[in-house]
Chain A
Amino acid sequence: MTAAVEQRAASSTGSDWLKSRTVKRFIRHRLAITGVIMISLITFMCVVGPWLLPYNMLEIHIRDRFTPPLTGDYLFGTDEMGRDLAARLFMAGRISLMVGVAAMLLSTLIGTVIGLVAGYFGKVTGTLLMRLTDSFLCFPQVFLLLTLAAFLQPNAFMITLIIAATSWMEVARIVSAEIRSLRERDFVTAAKISGASHTWIMFRELLPNTVGPIIVAATLTVAKAILLEAYVSFLGYGIQPPLPSWGNMLNNAQQFLDTAPWLAIVPGVAITAAVTSFNFIGDGLRDALDARSDMP
Chain B
Amino acid sequence: MTRVLTVENLNIGFRSEGRELPVVHDVSFTLEAGKTLALVGESGSGKSVTSLGIMRLLPPPPQSRARGKIILHSDEDIDLLSISEARMRRLRGDRIAMIFQEPLTSLNPVYTIGDQIIEAIRSHRAISARKARERAVELIDQVGIPDAAARLTTYPHELSGGMRQRIMIAIALALEPEILIADEPTTALDVTVQAQIIDLLRRLQAETGMAMLFITHDFGVVADIADRTIVMYAGQMVEHGQTEAVLETPLMPYTSGLMRAVPELETAGLNQGELQSIEGFVPNPASLPNGCAFHPRCTHTLSGICDVPPVPFEDAGNGHLVRCKRWQSILENAE
Contacts and interface: CB of A to CB of B under 8 A. Distances in A.
A4 B97 contact: no
A19 to B, nearest CB: 15
Interface in B4-42: none
A163 to B, nearest CB: 31
B123 A194 contact: yes
A244 B97 CA distance: 62
B100 A186 contact: yes
B110 A208 contact: yes
A209 B168 contact: no
Interface residues of B, number: 30
Interface string A192-204: 1111110010001
A185 interface: yes
A187 B103 CA distance: 9
A80 interface: no
Contacts, number: 72
A3 B90 CA distance: 32
A3 B111 CA distance: 13
Contact of B106 (A4, A189, A195, A197): A189
Interface in B91-137: 91-94, 97-98, 100, 102, 105-111, 119-120, 123-124
Interface stretch (A5-13, A136-144, A258-266, A282-290): A5-13
A191 B57 CA distance: 11
Contacts of B108: 187, 191, 205, 208-209
Counting from the closest, the 10 A-B pairs by CB-CB distance are A194-B93, A4-B109, A195-B92, A195-B93, A4-B157, A186-B105, A208-B110, A186-B106, A190-B106, A187-B108
Interface of B: 55, 57, 89-94, 97-98, 100, 102, 105-111, 119-120, 123-124, 153, 155-157, 168, 171-172
24 contacts: A4-B156, A8-B110, A8-B157, A11-B110, A14-B153, A186-B100, A186-B102, A187-B108, A189-B106, A190-B100, A190-B171, A192-B92, A193-B97, A193-B100, A194-B93, A194-B120, A195-B89, A195-B94, A195-B123, A196-B89, A205-B108, A208-B111, A209-B108, A209-B109
